[in-house]
Amino acid sequence: MLKGIDLWEDQGPAFGRNGTYGGYMYSDRAVAAIRAHNDTETPFFAYVAFQNTHVPLQVPAQYVDGSVEPEDRALYYGMTAFMDEAVGNITTALREAFAWEDTLIVFAADNGGDITAAGCNYPKRGSKYSDFEGGVATAAFVSGGFVPEVARGGSTDQMVHVADWWRTIAELAGVTPGEDGLVAGSQGDDVPKPDSVNVWQAVSQPGGLSGRTEVPVSENTLIMGHMKLVTHESDGEKDKHNSWTPATWPKGRLEPGPACKPCLFNLTADPEERHDLSGDPSFASELSTMQQRLAYWRGTAWESSKAAFAGPYTRCTTNDAFKASHRGFVGPLCTKPTI
């Protein structure tokens, strides 16, 4: 377990900031950066990663409704209310600082709710830490005056992966990934190029296509079109994350799901992943094709450990030594050699 104060600001530890609710720090910093950007000719980009609604479940008391039970659900609601207010503050600052017709806001979660920490993914199956839709299918939307009027208030069922925002936003900004150094691997650490697709057509045009046809969720799971292959998930009696929750969760009882070794689902016809088609002879071809495709994706997997977690950042220290020289704060353990 990495112990220490994990709080960084600009080029060093955020001395004196520890103890402030993180949501205040992030939203206040975002608003300040927006207001300080006085050059209307220079594009402005901000990535604001709220820790709401993530464990530990904490929020200032004024956001907690004491009538909500159980307590962890009240905290969860309170964290959501805080984030809603903070996003409103950031949006107001954007409206005041920039032309709204040039503003694009992308809001997306990184995973489904953790059902062991008050998260509820009803009616989807599963939780964070699982490959079921409750763990990997997340809520997302785009807003701002830059969204074409014809697309406002609409929705899309097109497949979009979080990695796709990299290429989408880069190309909207007039930068072609692969040019001007905007490509992974440029540090000499053999990082492969990102699997990223420009999905703006799906976002901006009713009926538009995203261009993405498959998502390798993990080494055990692949989505191709309407079909999803899950090769390894434990029985829900042993792993709570393989369960269906009631709409009232964490009140009520979990419905454990059977193990998947493997399972095949049609997500369009069966979005709750209740009907395993892997044993159905009429789906034998789809099962075989997806097993082969998943094996291909496994062969392309890359982790930072393959570059010894360092790449060209080879001047390293230990966590204990870093903390000792930075008043208990943790931070990057490796840097580039100066010579």
Task: Specify the pLDDT at position 181.
Answer: 46
Lowest mean pLDDT among 245-249, 303-307, 319-323: 303-307
Lowest mean pLDDT among 116-130, 148-162, 175-189: 175-189
Is the pLDDT assigned to residue 183 strictly greater than 80?
A: no
pLDDT digits over 54-81, tens only?
999 999 999 999 999 999 999 999 999 9
Lowest mean pLDDT among 187-191, 266-270, 278-282: 187-191
Q: Are the CB atoms for 43 and 97 separated by under 8 Å?
A: no
* Cα 195 to Cα 95: distance, rounded to the nearest angstrom: 33
Percent of the chain with pLDDT over 70: 93
Give how far Cα 104 sits from Cα of 92, 143, 338, Å.
Answer: 13, 6, 39
Q: How confident is the model at residue 307 (pLDDT cuts 50, 70, 90)?
A: low
pLDDT digits over 23-48, tens only?
999 999 999 999 999 887 888 999 99
- Centre a 10 Å sphere on the Cβ of residue 18 and count the other Cβ atoms it contains: 13
pLDDT digits over 106-138, tens only?
999 999 999 999 999 999 999 999 999 999 999
Task: Specify the pLDDT at position 186.
Answer: 47
* Cα 297 to Cα 218: distance, rounded to the nearest angstrom: 9
| pTM of the model as a whole | 0.89
Task: Specify the pLDDT at position 185.
Answer: 44
Task: Specify the pLDDT at position 141.
Answer: 94
* Cα 4 to Cα 18: distance, rounded to the nearest angstrom: 11
| DSSP conformational letter for 290 | H
Q: Are the CB atoms for 85 and 118 separated by under 8 Å?
A: no
* Cα 62 to Cα 222: distance, rounded to the nearest angstrom: 43
- What is the rounded average pLDDT for all residues in the chain? 91
Furthest C-alpha separation in the chain: 64
- Closest by alpha carbon to 196, among 182, 180, 207? 182
Task: Specify the pLDDT at position 101.
Answer: 94
Task: Specify the pLDDT at position 187.
Answer: 47
- The contacts of residue 45 (CB under 8 Å, 6+ apart) are 169, 173
Task: Specify the pLDDT at position 312.
Answer: 74
Single-letter code of the amino acid located at 292: Q
- Closest by alpha carbon to 260, among 279, 286, 239, 234? 234
Task: Specify the pLDDT at position 304.
Answer: 74
Task: Specify the pLDDT at position 188.
Answer: 52
Lowest mean pLDDT among 94-108, 153-167, 282-296, 307-321: 307-321
